[in-house]
Chain A
Amino acid sequence: MTELKVTAEPGSHEVSTEREVEAPRDVVFRAYREPELLAQWLGPRRYEMEIDTYEFRDGGRWRYVHKDDQGNSFGFHGVFHGDPSPDGMVQTFEFEGYPGHVSLDTAVLEDRGDRTLIRTISVFQSVEDRDGMVQAGMADGMREAYERLEELAAKLVANG
């Protein structure tokens, strides 16, 4: 298992991630395809995930809600584009707390034998939307700082 890599280039509409997991590609695909499995891993542990609709096919709708123990709930919905396969699961993604700001998300599962590399790319409608979603849009230079900051933090941790 490798560390999660998050890339958000300055001024771009994209955020991409890479993460390797220790399971063959077809098993990982199941964890995306089957809603009862998806609900067991997507999102932080502090949220209960409730899947409303999950039509894993071309044109299929999906909607799920993350609920915390204080009664807050956060809904998300979108539509699958193209038949989802390990080579590409393409969907629109909208946070209901920020309506009208839609991203196009692609997840690709790369076969690495006993392991699978999960690559995701989210393309937002604007740089501001992207930064709103990654909460990195507060001050000028923040985007640029993001990657450096992580390198720096890694050094700080290493040096105690």
Chain B
Amino acid sequence: MKKATTGTSDEQLDAVFGALADRTRRAILVRLAEGEASVNELCAPFAVSQPAISQHLKVLERAGLISRSRKGTARLSHLEAEPLKEAVTWLGNYREYWEESYERLDELLGAIRREGSGQTDPGRSSS
């Protein structure tokens, strides 16, 4: 059951999901999906102190979800999409099962409709 996708260790997934468990950290990631930002810029939308934001950024950095660089006196945070994509892939099994099933159902329903009446057995579209 606990099978990680290739290239993703259980430890990294734990760190990623631990980081995502917090609402403020998720909001920070959503903000960073729009582009890099300084700690001050990240503080603005949240009712949280700057040290608290810095703490959240450390957790995100440890999980590999963001990287940080300096620009003058400001420290900018950037979203690192890869671990997130891996986490989404890993979570996707249930969704994939049903997504693919329903895609096949779409094809089958299309085949039935093309036959018109739909009374006879439709051709096998098991491609």
Contacts and interface: CB of A to CB of B under 8 A. Distances in A.
A21 B106 contact: yes
B17 A153 contact: no
Nearest to B79: A156
Interface stretch (B39-47, B50-58, B69-77, B89-97): B89-97
B113 to A, nearest CB: 6
B98 A30 contact: no
B112 to A, nearest CB: 6
Given A138-B13, A152-B26, A156-B84, A22 B109 contact: yes
Query: Main secondary structure on chain B at its contact with chain A?
Result: helix
B124 A40 contact: yes
Interface residues of A, number: 44
B105 interface: yes
Contacts of A44: 96-97, 100-101
Given A4-B98, A30-B118, A45-B104, A151 B112 contact: no
A151 B95 contact: no
A136 to B, nearest CB: 6
B94 A133 contact: yes
Interface string A86-99: 00000000000000
A159 B118 CA distance: 43
B21 A144 contact: yes
A139 B109 contact: no
Interface residues of B, number: 49
A37 to B, nearest CB: 6
30 contacts: A6-B94, A19-B98, A21-B105, A21-B106, A23-B112, A23-B113, A27-B113, A28-B105, A28-B109, A31-B105, A37-B108, A42-B104, A43-B97, A43-B101, A44-B96, A44-B100, A45-B127, A135-B94, A136-B91, A138-B10, A138-B14, A142-B20, A144-B21, A145-B21, A149-B20, A149-B84, A149-B91, A155-B34, A156-B84, A159-B33
Interface of A: 1, 4, 6, 15, 17, 19, 21-23, 27-28, 30-31, 36-37, 40-45, 118, 132-136, 138-142, 144-146, 148-153, 155-156, 159
Interface of B: 1-2, 10, 13-14, 17-18, 20-22, 26, 29-30, 33-34, 79, 81, 84-85, 87-88, 90-91, 93-102, 104-110, 112-113, 118, 121-122, 124-127
Given A31-B108, A141-B18, A155-B34, 17 more contacts: A4-B95, A15-B94, A21-B109, A23-B109, A27-B109, A27-B112, A31-B109, A37-B108, A40-B125, A41-B107, A44-B97, A135-B1, A139-B21, A141-B17, A142-B21, A151-B30, A152-B29
